[in-house]
Amino acid sequence: MQDCIFCKIINKQIPSNIVYEDEKIISFYDVNPMADIHVLIVPKVHVESINELNESTLESVKYAFSKIPEIAESLGIKDSGYRTIINTGKDAGQTVKHLHIHILGGSKLPEKLV
Ligand code: 5GP
Ligand code: ZN
């Protein structure tokens, strides 16, 4: 996807602060952190949002989820806890149209989600 900022990060056309990468996913720090630790986990396959998932692309999201504990541990927040968020569409404030999981932690998060 030519104009997708996360595809550009995946293709190393723009830099990011990578915390984990393999052939299926990439994880990097959010450029505008909303918590002490805020990273994104991004399946490398371009899928706009949860609404566009199919059986095949769901596999990459499942794989991304399976890697959350390992990535959280590497960030030192596995046991202290963290919040996972996936925004879908306008009302949720999704700004990047490439499905991604937010991981937020590093200190006590607000109890209210919204
Ligand atoms: P969304 O609002 O779509 O759920 O989340 C998009 C996230 O991507 C935002 O938290 C935003 O700060 C982050 N973001 C947008 N552009 C870049 C970028 O170029 N680099 C990094 N590291 N994060 C980005
Ligand atoms: Zn993309």
Q: Where residue 70 sits, what CATH number does that domain have? A: 3.30.428.10
- 2 pLDDT band, cuts 50/70/90, is confident
Q: Which residues are identified as catalytic?
A: 100
Mean of pLDDT values over 24-37? 98
Over residues 47-88, the pLDDT tens digits come to: 999 999 999 999 999 999 999 999 999 999 999 999 999 999
Strands annotated E in 1-114: 18-21, 25-29, 37-43, 82-85, 101-105
The region, left, alpha or beta by phi > 0 then psi within -120 to 50, assigned to residue 57 is alpha
Q: Whose CA is nearest to atom 12 of ligand 1?
A: 32
- How is residue 52 annotated by DSSP? G
State what percent of residues in the chain have pLDDT above 70.
100
Would the pTM of this model clear 0.95, i.e. be above it?
Answer: yes
Phi, psi values for residue 103, rounded to 5°? -120, 120
* Residue 112 lies inside a defined structural domain of this protein: no
- Residue 114 maps to a domain: no
Q: Which ligand is nearest to the CA of 10?
A: 2
Residue range of the domain that includes 88: 5-105
* Count of structural domains, the chain: 1
Predicted local confidence at residue 1, as pLDDT: 76
Ligand 1 pocket list (CB less than 6 A): 5, 16, 28-32, 87, 93-96
Burial of 88 (0-12, 13-18, 19+ CB in 10 A): middle
Domain membership of residue 110 (yes or no) is: no
